[in-house]
Structure 1
Amino acid sequence: MITRFPGLTPTRSRAVVHGDLVLTVAVAPDPATSSMYEQSAKALARIDESLALCGSDKSKILSAIVYITDMKRKSEMNRAWDEWVDARNPPMRACIGVDLEPPHIVEIVVTAVK
């Protein structure tokens, strides 16, 4: 069975659960600042909220993909990540440079277990 948690728009889910597998995506809430650090921290806080909604938490993340618009500013995102991540249970993580719909400059995709 697939459980979908509604997002802010009718065509997107905030999170999806299938068995013990949890998938979620987050960006910083609007209004979003131009700070890579702040957008990263706010998106990670949303990941926490979505995982909790699904009965999980950041210690159970299997992998994360972080999309950012400017790889030269990756260190700002890394600072937010390092402050947030469960250092005892660090997930696999990839960081990819992409174009995102403004004003967002960070988008995070997470796969976790319950």
Structure 2
Amino acid sequence: MNQDFSTIIERFGIGKRGSLAVVHQGTGYFACTPQAPYDGSLSTADQTRQLLAKAEARLAEIGSAREGLLFCAIMLADMGDYAAMNEVWDEWVAGIAPPARACFEARLASPDLKVEMIMVCAVKPA
């Protein structure tokens, strides 16, 4: 039984393995990494800055903003970089009510990748 969800799910940047973002019933979901190709010579702080710039653009593309963030899961290749990532994060969420979040260490898809985030946000009605 093939159901048609195209009227209730909006997908952005549909690729072979996944979409860049998905919106359903006013909630947006996406994962974000630093600029590709990943530059392993950059610090975790610099990769976090790249990632958050991409996240901000993606939020705008799907009809949201930093203020609309509900939850963020942060994955670090090395928890030793937690303070450096937090410094950049704290600047990015300054002046807004920050989302709920979790941070953990994980083996990421590339040895040059130091940080990745999964974000859930509220999306304004069209």
TM score, norm. by length of structure 1: 0.92
Instruction: Trace 1:1-114 onto structure 2 (pairs within 5 A).
Output: 1-6=8-13, 9-34=15-40, 35-102=43-110, 103-114=112-123
Partners of 1:74 and 1:86 in 2: how far apart?
Answer: 18
For the residues of structure 2 that align with 1:88 and 1:2, how far apart are their CA atoms?
A: 28
- Mean CA deviation greater in 69-78 or 9-18: 9-18
Aligned AA for 1:106? Answer: V
Range with greater deviation from structure 2 (84-93 or 34-43)? 84-93
How many residue pairs end up in the alignment? 113
Q: Distance in 2 between matches of 1:3 and 1:104?
A: 28
* Cα shift at 1:104: 1.0
Which secondary structure state, in structure 1, belongs to the residue aligned with residue 39 of structure 2?
A: coil
Could you state the TM-score of these two structures normalised by the residue count of structure 2? 0.84
Listed as ranges, the gaps of 5+ residues in structure 2 are 1-7
Separation (CA, whole Å) in 2 of partners of 1:21 and 1:100: 26
Cα deviation for residue 106 of structure 1 reads 0.6
CA distance in structure 2 between the partners assigned to 1:39 and 1:94 by the alignment: 18
Instruction: Give the gaps of 5 or more residues in structure 1.
Output: none
Whether the 8 Å CA contact 1:28–1:42 is kept in 2: the answer is yes
1:65-102 C-alpha deviation (Å, 9 max, x unpaired): 00001001111111110111143311111101000022
